[in-house]
Amino acid sequence: MIIPKKLPDKGDIVLIKINKVMRYGAYCELVEYKMDAYLPIGEVASGWIKNIHEFIREGQKDAAKVSFIDPVKNTVDISLKKVTTKEKKDKINDHNLEKRAEKIFNNAIVASKLEAKKQEMLAAIAQKVPTYTELITLIHENKEVLPKGTDPKFKKILEELVEKSIRPRIYQVSYTVDLQSFDMKRGISLIKSVLAEVEKAGVAVLYIGAPHYQFTSEGSDYPTAESKIKAAEKILEAHRELSFSMKSNKV
């Protein structure tokens, strides 16, 4: 977050580092909050635990769910067993994206020589967006998200860094194609000619072994990539001297 919370909320997924494993639990650090938390043995894993050291170790980094908060004593209890595999994966991915976005912002601050105004700028930006990730995403989408009065030099540098750092995602689809010709005389040359047409349509062709080929296409989204495969299919259909079948390689 641009302005970090002092305490997580109950139910939040947090990143932890296990510092000390005891017989009936472990003392951990909440990485994003720079504070301690306690992991009871009953929240380490489902089922009966005879030896806690068989499940966790000191120095281990993981994702946990906040199960109890005492805001007066500033204490937090956490659970490992209540975190699903998807929640853990999403949390780690979100954290990595946030750190990457924060680095882009900090690099723009340094390049603009605005370190002295950083906290003031963050306070203004946090009124519009809560995270660095959202800030960078909106800038990438050319949306006006920076507060009015933002230093023009900083704005320009930040936009340039965003464009250099964020590459558009490429989606790929692949099909296995069985392709044969009824024309005994010029079958091979016909197939070569048709495959050349397919490649011009933006589909890469890989020869696997007669009569098998692999068609691969890419796009900014799956429908775009699939549309190229559809275009290749129409090319094959236009040649009645050919027999073919297509099967998606999607698992």
* pLDDT at residue 72 is higher than 90: yes
What's phi and psi for 61, nearest 5 deg? -110, 135
* Phi, psi dihedrals of residue 169, rounded to the nearest 5°: -70, 140
Q: Is the full-model pTM beyond 0.75? A: no
Per-residue model confidence (pLDDT) at position 60: 96
Please state the φ and ψ torsions of residue 196, each to the nearest 5 degrees: -65, -40
Name the CA radius of gyration of the chain, rounded.
28
For residue range 138-154, list pLDDT tens digits in order.
999 889 999 999 999 99
* Residue % of the chain over a pLDDT of 70: 100
For the segment 218-237, the average pLDDT, to the nearest whole number, is: 92
> Which pLDDT value is given to residue 3?
92
First to last CA, the chain: 36
- Residue 187 pLDDT: 82
Residue 210 has a pLDDT of: 81
Supply the pLDDT for residue 221: 84
Average pLDDT of 104-109? 97
CA distance linking residue 104 with residue 140, whole number of Å: 12
Q: What does the pLDDT read at residue 134?
A: 95
Other Cβ atoms within 10 Å of 95 Cβ, number: 17
Residue 114 has pLDDT above 80, yes or no: yes
- Mean pLDDT, the chain, integer: 93
- pLDDT band of residue 179 (cuts 50, 70, 90) is very high
